[in-house]
Amino acid sequence: MKRQALLLAALVILLRLPFLNEAVQGDDVYYLYGAQHAQIDPLHPLHTHYAFLGDMVDMRGHPHGPLNAWVLGGLIAIFGGVREVPFHLAYLAFSLAAAFAMLSLARRFCPERALLASILFTAVPAFVVNGNSFETDLVFLAFWVISIAYYTQAIHTRSAWLLTASAVAGGLAALDAFQAGMLMPILGLYLWMHDRKWTAGWIATLAAPFTIVAWQAWEWASSGTLPIAVLLGYMQSHAFQAPSRKIESATALIGHAGWIVFPALVAAAFWRSAGWWRWALVGVAGVAAFSHDANPLFWGSVAMGTLLILSCIRRDFLSAWVLLFFAASLLIFFAGSARYLLPIAAPVAILIARQVPTRALIAGIGVQFVIALGLATANHVQWAEVRDFSNAVMDQANGRRVWVDAEWGLRHYLEERGARPLLKDTVLRGDDILVSSELGTPVPITVRAAKWLEKTISPTAPFRIISIEGGSGYSASAKGLLPFEVSTEMVDRLHADIVLERKPELSFLDPKDPRTAAHVIGGLFPDGWMVSEATVLLEVPEKFAALKASVYIPADAPARTVTLIADGKVVATQTVPAPGAYTITAPFHTHATQVTVTLRVDKTHRVPPDSRDLGAVVTGIGFE
């Protein structure tokens, strides 16, 4: 058994070594915000705010607990900042822990092929790719599998120590991600099947949900805010649980289920035992998927994902584990990412290893490693080039203000060196540098700008987990529904532009006039809606009597006070009694040739699925 453990450890280390200098990517940046705040308030790392899609949001509404922020915060305290190589070396411990726990489970459920099942587990694409990030996935997976491995041992030995270790691991998993609550029915099922009269065993199944409730209570007692309430507010305001998103996410997850292991292994494992009705449903799913997208990578993945899920409709623990968590994933998740299914990678690997002949299993594992490492390599190159571009921008900024209109790793590396995130109400001025990504630019903004630096990212590895025009839903179903792409096309194009001084041509603006866009500094949209502040640049006409703004406040809008500001000075304020159309007018005198005018309202609201903070509808603004 020691030899198996050593071989597995060597394999995991070899998988991680090429990626020790992996750049910050994806959602890493948000966990690093929590880690940085942990240096100030270690007990409340999520009590901070950060820019997200152009708005400042409360991190207490993040869909994960504080554990990953604590881990990263500890590493920042030790190394004095974000250091890729030592951080990845530290996170290697979670990969090893998950692999060893998997080996323990495989010895119980598949003893004759425990090592092969464990190697298949480490070849899961999401394990290989996402294990190189600082997101919660591998941290969660490690404690999730450890909890189940210890629990299954505890049931058969009646060991209080193993039961306690399982409960502790389950609690840590719960502090990392809310889906840890699914440990309760999964562990409870195993106890029911093997030792249903053991009271201590039933108590231990409550460890994860108890920890979630305890953490919520602690946050409420210490700050007066329930994190789950903040999260639900963001879910509603951003329409994350809209039916269209849920359908996209569910479709993507079915396709990802077909790639937990190489699809040919799924077919080899279940083609005889599936039965006619399962194959009929697989055919229906495949045809439906084909009608949406004829790409074989899509409909084939959906068909094999359907076969895997249907083949788990049986009365054994591993199959029930898969079904329970997969059903929960359809309800919980809205982005359909491949990494969301990592908690069922262990039972799937064991089920496949049990059924597939050894030679075919080894061949499938080999192909799976090639694909997984190809995806990981393309991802590694992408974010390394983002890091290099960010450093090039800051090296050449020469004291200019730098704004980043992007999320993910680009945001991290620019902010690390002094850039600021672009918000919806940010007012840019001439000579500012605006950095954006065609793949992930969240704040649409119209400015006159001169092209300065540009970089096209096209990794040579013929795989893509995300791209501008491709259809890969590996990271998020909003980008497409393919499990990944086989392509050498461009992944992203990065821009750093220098903002030019605006030269207004109009003295009165109608938001629906296409010429208005060139005069909008921020906060005003082509449909007339404004956020809390709308700022425009106007040409001052030779003759004028006053400055005015016409607004319409809809029945469901709470705004009641409207303020007109010219070049930073309040020129008029009006409080209105009820919704309706109003015009605010102010005498104004200036010798300037242009003026910056801001219209401000006191309150905003949201109308899902629109995610904007809406104030009022502007029908006109300018000189009369």
Q: Where are the domains of the chain?
A: 239-356, 382-499, 508-623
Give 41-62 pLDDT, tens digit per residue. 999 999 999 888 888 888 988 8
DSSP H helices, 177-316, are: 183-194, 199-204, 207-223, 227-237, 243-257, 263-270, 275-292, 296-311
Is residue 4's pLDDT more than 90?
A: yes
Is residue 239's pLDDT more than 80?
A: no
Give 17-34 pLDDT, tens digit per residue. 999 999 999 899 999 999
Residue with tokens 């990412």: 337
How far apart, in whole angstroms, are the C-alpha atoms of residue 98 and residue 439?
Answer: 32
CA-based torsion, 184, 189, 193, 199: positive or negative:
positive
How far apart, in whole angstroms, are the C-alpha atoms of residue 437 and residue 333?
Answer: 26
Higher pLDDT, 51 or 76: 76
The model's pTM: 0.85
Q: What is each CA distance from 346 to 53, 102, 121, 369, in whole angstroms?
A: 35, 6, 6, 16
Average pLDDT over residues 171-197: 95
When mean pLDDT is compared over 95-99, 435-439, 532-536, 608-612, the highest value belongs to 95-99
At 575 the three-state DSSP class reads strand
Strand extents, DSSP E, 414-491: 420-421, 433-437, 449-457, 463-464, 485-486
Number of other CB atoms surrounding residue 568 within 10 Å: 7
Is residue 610's pLDDT more than 80?
A: no
List the Cα angle 203/93/28 in 5-degree steps: 95
What separation, in Å, do the N-terminal and C-terminal C-alpha atoms of the chain show? 86
List the Cα angle 65/68/70 in 5-degree steps: 95
In this prediction, residue 510 carries a pLDDT of 93
How far apart, in whole angstroms, are the C-alpha atoms of residue 69 and residue 33?
Answer: 8
Is residue 203's pLDDT more than 60?
A: yes
In this prediction, residue 223 carries a pLDDT of 86
Residue with tokens 């001084």: 501
In this prediction, residue 187 carries a pLDDT of 97
Higher pLDDT, 232 or 402: 402
Burial class from Cβ neighbours inside 10 Å (0-12, 13-18, 19+) for residue 509 reads buried
Average pLDDT over residues 440-469: 85
Question: At residue 143, what are phi and psi to the nearest 5 degrees?
Answer: -70, -30
**Percent of the chain clearing pLDDT 70 (strictly above):** 98
**What residues contact residue 211 under an 8 Å CB cut-off, 6+ apart?**
170, 171, 174, 175, 180
Average pLDDT over residues 464-479: 85
In this prediction, residue 247 carries a pLDDT of 87
| Gyration radius from the chain CA atoms | 27
At 196 the three-state DSSP class reads coil
Give 116-125 pLDDT, tens digit per residue. 999 999 999 9
Give 311-362 pLDDT, tens digit per residue. 999 889 999 999 999 999 998 887 889 999 999 999 999 999 999 999 999 9
Burial class from Cβ neighbours inside 10 Å (0-12, 13-18, 19+) for residue 8 reads buried
Q: Which two tokens stand for residue 588?
A: 């104004």
pLDDT band of residue 577 (cuts 50, 70, 90) is: very high
Burial class from Cβ neighbours inside 10 Å (0-12, 13-18, 19+) for residue 401 reads middle
Give 212-230 pLDDT, tens digit per residue. 999 999 999 988 888 888 8
Average pLDDT over residues 400-426: 91
Give 494-543 pLDDT, tens digit per residue. 999 998 877 888 999 999 898 888 888 778 888 999 988 888 889 988 88
pLDDT band of residue 237 (cuts 50, 70, 90) is: low
How far apart, in whole angstroms, are the C-alpha atoms of residue 321 and residue 234?
Answer: 30
pLDDT band of residue 240 (cuts 50, 70, 90) is: low
Q: What is the CATH number of domain 508-623?
A: 2.60.120.260
Is residue 236's pLDDT more than 70?
A: no
Is residue 370's pLDDT more than 90?
A: yes
In this prediction, residue 61 carries a pLDDT of 85
